[in-house]
């Protein structure tokens, strides 16, 4: 491809809304054009990258017998009522939905469990037709609360979504394992460094799930990893071993202490310097949203721990939990915020506790009275210990649950997510089949997503320098960049043209910078920005039939013959897989 035949415009300055390098560089290189918040035009170079990722995705799914189809983006509300997800998606605000001219409500698909289940329930009658794994590559719509980072979190983006249907739990797990391997191969082929982690299942539902996280400091997800044991989990889901409670305190009677103005553990630490955080119990009030009126929930945890709101949400199986506002706190405690405690909460406030409170005795907690805390409180004597569940947010330095290693918190970008759904959708929507014993049973499902456009952004986030992007060979918009120094010089023209045609003839994607009026310095700047991985400079050495060879990532350059450069290129392509 000759550059003079392309719409090729690069920009010197970062766009003002770019918070991460991948976003800034893609916009500057003309790969992306913002139309509205989280909605982009994919330019011709970007589209080449996306198509290469899609090809890898297709090859790996097809190889394992998954079948591609295409489902509609417009989906009727009734289907989402069948699965029971309409209200949750509407209340989260994520769903783009509207009425058609007849007044029927429809949405633009954020995901396709409902559609695929309604399709398969029609077509599959017998166990003999299973297993089935279907997938599509399609534009998804999510009205994200914070669209940002360019393609990382768009409101319209490209996803590959796959769905498996099986006769039993065991068979579902086989399909899940198959997809897990497909995902590993896809991300490896895309040239990404990634970590599979245990994940929360969120609004999609179901039991087991794993996410594929691209290692990146700018990633939106926090991950708990342990180098000693290999444990890796999204912080939303991660568990750790809470250190033992302090030795029991001397058993003195419960009493009130005046603590005016001390509304946090830090304040209390100053007032009671000898009392460790592990002997304080925090009481945090949450509002629960499930469509109807609900009393607030008070959650207890040890002073040195924090509450994981995702675990809380899952435990309460509700639509949303949010920190209670000050008025709610006043009503629930009868005191100003900062003095909530488990003793003497108002009627109807539900009390639950994180496991970290187990074994804590002789502790300090809020007095439900402004400016007052209780001291020397004992479970069993002064109040019943509430039921405990794991609601703890894992922290750096925690021990793993098995006690064999320490947890580190790192960051990552979620590029893929695989779920064992079980029979949640098939039961709700009547997707059944006749089993071998002639009984009618619901199908066992799995669902599997890859953010195709997010993969492209992650690849740049992981591979760039101060001058621009550095594309991994398998997903680069072009593989080879020919930079011709002096266009119009007959020797250079002839050599560049021959090299270009020769490489194209071998099926190599080549971009040839054949611009006449652009200085070499500007050409190199553009080449660095666009980040095509292999580079051939056609300049003065053309008179000797030689060119300069380098890679975008490396600093070495060598002057070689045309035959040698072709060999180098073929070798680099083979090495990249
Ligand atoms: P996130 O937690 O990042 O919002 P999610 O868990 O809601 O993502 P899934 O429903 O698991 O996303 O979707 C499958 C994949 O689609 C994700 O792993 C991610 O790679 C991609 N994806 C999800 N939302 C977006 C988005 N707004 N823009 C680009 N890609 C996305
Ligand atoms: Mg996810």
What phi and psi, each to the nearest 5 degrees, are found at residue 92? Answer: -75, -15
- Sign of the alpha-carbon dihedral angle for 523, 528, 531, 532: positive
* 236-268 pLDDT tens trace: 999 999 888 888 778 899 999 999 999 999 999
Q: Return the H-helix or E-strand segment holding 161.
A: strand 156-166
* 2-28 pLDDT tens trace: 999 999 999 999 999 999 999 999 999
Tell me how far the alpha carbon of residue 451 lies from the centroid of ligand 2, in angstroms. Answer: 10
pLDDT exceeds cutoff 60 at 172: yes
pLDDT confidence of residue 206: 55
Confidence of residue 282 (pLDDT cuts 50, 70, 90): very high
Contacts of 555 (CB under 8 A, 6+ apart): none
pLDDT confidence of residue 250: 84
3-state secondary structure of 278: helix
Confidence of residue 289 (pLDDT cuts 50, 70, 90): confident
**CATH: 3.90.650.10, 3.90.960.10, 3.30.365.10, 3.30.43.10. Which one for 255-389?**
3.90.960.10
Per domain, the residue ranges of the chain are: 16-238+409-460, 255-389, 478-576
Starting from the CA of residue 212, give the closest ligand.
Answer: 1
Radius of gyration, CA atoms only, the chain: 29
Tokens of 26: 């893609």
417 lines ligand 1 (CB under 6 A): yes
pTM above 0.85, yes or no: yes
458 lines ligand 1 (CB under 6 A): no
Confidence of residue 320 (pLDDT cuts 50, 70, 90): confident
Domains 16-238+409-460 and 255-389 share a fold: no
Angstrom CA distances, 514 to 154, 320, 493, 525, 533, stand at 35, 57, 9, 15, 18
pLDDT confidence of residue 244: 85
153 lines ligand 1 (CB under 6 A): yes
Confidence of residue 418 (pLDDT cuts 50, 70, 90): very high
Token pair 């997510």: residue: 417
Task: Please tell me the residue having the least CA distance from ligand 1 atom 16.
Answer: 451
Angstrom CA distances, 342 to 1, 183, 211, 298, 331, stand at 71, 47, 37, 8, 14
pLDDT confidence of residue 201: 75
Contacts of 95 (CB under 8 A, 6+ apart): 86, 89, 107, 108, 110, 142, 143
Tell me how far the alpha carbon of residue 414 lies from the centroid of ligand 2, in angstroms. Answer: 7
Looking from the CA of residue 415, the nearest atom of ligand 1 is 20
* 546-555 pLDDT tens trace: 999 999 999 9
Token pair 């049973």: residue: 441
pLDDT confidence of residue 204: 58
The 3-class SS string of 331-381 reads: HHHCCCCCCCCCCCCCCCCEEEEEHHHCCCCCEEEECCCCCEEEEEECECC
DSSP state letter for 146: S
448 lines ligand 1 (CB under 6 A): no
* 41-82 pLDDT tens trace: 999 999 999 999 999 999 999 999 999 999 999 999 999 999
201 lines ligand 1 (CB under 6 A): no
pLDDT confidence of residue 295: 77
User: Rounded mean pLDDT of 205-220?
Assistant: 87
Class level of CATH domain 478-576: alpha beta
pLDDT confidence of residue 350: 92
Tell me how far the alpha carbon of residue 440 lies from the centroid of ligand 1, in angstroms. Answer: 34
Most distant CA pair in the chain, distance = 98
Cα distance between residue 193 and residue 39, in whole Å: 27
pLDDT confidence of residue 203: 59
pLDDT confidence of residue 246: 82
Angstrom CA distances, 22 to 31, 149, 339, stand at 11, 8, 46
Contacts of 543 (CB under 8 A, 6+ apart): 491
The number of beta carbons lying within 10 Å of the beta carbon of residue 407 is 27
Looking from the CA of residue 450, the nearest atom of ligand 1 is 15
pLDDT exceeds cutoff 90 at 331: yes
DSSP state letter for 100: -
What's the CATH code, domain 16-238+409-460? 3.30.930.10
159 lines ligand 1 (CB under 6 A): yes
415 lines ligand 1 (CB under 6 A): yes
- Angle between helical axes of 490-505 and 562-575 (0-180°, round to 10): 40
């Amino acid at each position: 491809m000759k550059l003079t035949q392309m719409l090729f415009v690069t920009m010197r300055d970062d766009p003002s809304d770019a918070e991460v390098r991948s976003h800034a560089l893609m916009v500057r290189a003309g790969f992306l054009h913002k139309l509205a918040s989280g909605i982009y035009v994919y330019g011709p170079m970007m589209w080449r990258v996306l198509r290469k990722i899609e090809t890898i995705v297709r090859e790996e799914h097809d190889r394992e017998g998954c079948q591609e189809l295409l489902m509609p983006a417009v989906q009727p509300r009734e289907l989402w009522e069948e699965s029971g997800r309409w209200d949750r998606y509407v209340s989260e605000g994520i769903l783009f939905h509207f009425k058609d001219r007849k007044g029927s409500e429809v949405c633009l698909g954020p995901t396709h469990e409902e559609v695929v289940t309604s399709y398969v329930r029609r077509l599959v009658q017998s166990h003999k037709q299973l297993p089935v794994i279907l997938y599509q590559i399609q534009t998804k719509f999510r009205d994200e609360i914070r669209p940002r980072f360019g393609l990382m979190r768009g409101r319209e983006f490209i996803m590959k979504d796959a769905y498996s249907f099986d006769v039993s739990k065991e068979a579902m797990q086989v399909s899940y394992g198959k997809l897990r391997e497909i995902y590993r191969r896809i991300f490896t082929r895309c040239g990404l460094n990634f970590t599979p982690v245990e994940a929360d299942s969120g609004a999609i539902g179901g039991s087991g799930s794993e996410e594929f996280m691209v290692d990146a400091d700018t990633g939106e997800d926090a991950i708990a990893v342990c180098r000693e044991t290999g444990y890796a989990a999204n912080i939303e889901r991660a568990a750790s071993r809470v250190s033992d409670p302090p030795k029991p305190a001397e058993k003195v009677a419960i009493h009130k202490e005046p603590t005016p103005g001390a509304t946090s553990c830090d304040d209390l630490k100053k007032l009671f310097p000898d009392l460790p955080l592990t002997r304080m119990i925090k009481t945090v009030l949450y509002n629960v949203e499930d469509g109807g009126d609900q009393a607030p929930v008070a959650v207890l945890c040890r002073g040195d721990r924090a509450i994981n709101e995702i675990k809380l949400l899952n435990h309460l199986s509700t639509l949303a939990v949010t920190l209670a506002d000050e008025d709610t706190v006043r009503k629930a405690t009868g005191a100003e915020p900062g003095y909530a405690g488990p003793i003497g909460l108002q009627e109807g406030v539900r009390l639950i506790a994180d496991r970290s409170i187990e074994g804590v005795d002789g502790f300090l907690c809020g007095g439900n009275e402004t400016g007052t805390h209780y001291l020397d409180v004992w479970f069993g004597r002064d109040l019943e210990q509430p039921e405990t569940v794991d609601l703890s947010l894992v922290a750096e330095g925690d021990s793993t649950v098995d006690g064999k290693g320490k947890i580190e918190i790192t960051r990552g970008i979620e590029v893929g997510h695989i779920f064992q759904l079980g029979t949640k959708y098939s039961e709700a929507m009547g997707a059944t089949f006749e089993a071998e014993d002639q009984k009618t049973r619901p199908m066992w499902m799995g669902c599997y997503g890859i953010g195709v456009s997010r993969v492209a952004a992650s690849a740049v986030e992981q591979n760039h320098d101060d001058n621009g992007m550095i594309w991994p060979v398998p997903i680069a918009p072009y593989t080879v960049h020919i930079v011709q120094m002096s266009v119009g010089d007959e020797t250079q023209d002839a050599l560049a043209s021959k090299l270009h045609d020769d490489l194209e003839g071998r099926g190599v994607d080549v971009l040839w910078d054949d611009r006449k009026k652009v200085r070499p310095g500007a050409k190199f700047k553009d080449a660095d920005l666009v980040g095509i991985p292999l580079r051939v400079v056609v300049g003065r050495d053309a008179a000797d039939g030689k060119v300069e060879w380098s890679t975008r990532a490396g600093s070495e350059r060598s002057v070689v013959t045309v035959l040698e450069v072709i060999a180098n290129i073929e070798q680099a392509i083979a090495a990249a897989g």
